[in-house]
Amino acid sequence: MEYPKFTVVTPTYNQGQFIEKTIDSVLSQGYPNLEFIIIDGGSKDNTVEVIKKYEHHLAYWVSEPDRGQSHAINKGMGRATGDYLTWLNSDDWYLPGALHRMHELFAAHPEIGMVVGAGRIVDQMGKEVHYISPTQEITLESLYKWLSSGNFLQPSSAFTRSAWESAGHIDEQIHIALDLDLWLRMAKAGVKFVTTDALLSEALSHPQAKTTAFEDLMRLDCALVIIRHGGEHVVRKTLEVMITRYTWYRRNYETIVSNPLLKMLRPIVKRFSKPGEYWNDLVPPWVKD
């Protein structure tokens, strides 16, 4: 059987504690025509040390400062020569057989430009947090519903070179909803999607993950991207709900933070809040004092 080349790009920065599992999940796929590229943003931890253990299996890798995840993906795709393309973040990993299953779908549906499977989010203990499987046909209109019922996990997807070229590169001005922006551009360019309920990947939920640490900013970023692509009629209600919620918190902030029970919890909050954590930028002044 002829296997078209499959390129996987992994962008990473200071993910030494996670990246080895990511690398192993790609190399253990057993896909016979694999091109694996790692773009590191100049990590200061042990990321480079881990990469060097596997460099003889890599088509290319580099460790140098970049402008973030979007830029790193574009750098990797600029070197990619595969027929099928995707990226896998350094705190995500494939499940056995994922690349073969994607290849089978591409081969069975030569008219499609992107395949999407099921994925799940797990915590650092391996416990399932969310199971996400595409339950409907993926179209421009369904992507407009990303914040309610239209989403899927990026690690469980791949696209053809022609789909990538029809949409253009990742928009480097977008740092959270960069994948949704790409899918919307693909859909507007006429790219066809096919879905499977096969479980293809897992994504790790941890405090440093963007979708964990910046959940509300992610929702806002997604809403702005959808509006940019013509979906304001779908996300307007979502934005109204978000604004109503934050208006309530703002109006009741002093009442909340002066609550005697919360003041009693202050020592506990400070004990488990390490200096420099994102939490410290959010907690009210009575906790920081």
For 82-117, the pLDDT digits (tens) are 999 999 999 999 999 999 999 999 999 999 999 999
**pLDDT greater at residue 212 or residue 286:** 212
**Which pLDDT belongs to residue 239?**
80
Q: Coil, strand or helix: which one is 135?
A: coil
pLDDT above 80: residue 57: yes
Average pLDDT over residues 152-175: 95
Q: 132, 120 in Cβ contact below 8 A?
A: yes
Pairing of strands 157-160, 128-132: unpaired
Please state, in angstroms and rounded to a whole number, the distance separating the CA atoms of residues 81 and 205: 31
Phi, psi of 10 (to 5 degrees): -115, 110
Please state, in angstroms and rounded to a whole number, the distance separating the CA atoms of residues 83 and 164: 10
For 224-243, what is each residue's pLDDT tens digit? 999 999 999 999 888 887 77
Complete DSSP assignment for 206-229: -TTSHHHHTHHHHHHHHHHHHHHT
**Which pLDDT belongs to residue 283?**
47
**Which pLDDT belongs to residue 277?**
47
Please state, in angstroms and rounded to a whole number, the distance separating the CA atoms of residues 62 and 10: 11
145: tokens are 């519903």
Place of tokens 């002093």: 254
pLDDT above 70: residue 257: no
**Which pLDDT belongs to residue 218?**
86
Of 227, 225, 157, 166, give the one whose Cα is nearest residue 193.
157
Q: Which domains does the chain have, with CATH numbers?
A: 6-228 (3.90.550.10), 259-289 (no CATH)
**Which pLDDT belongs to residue 191?**
97
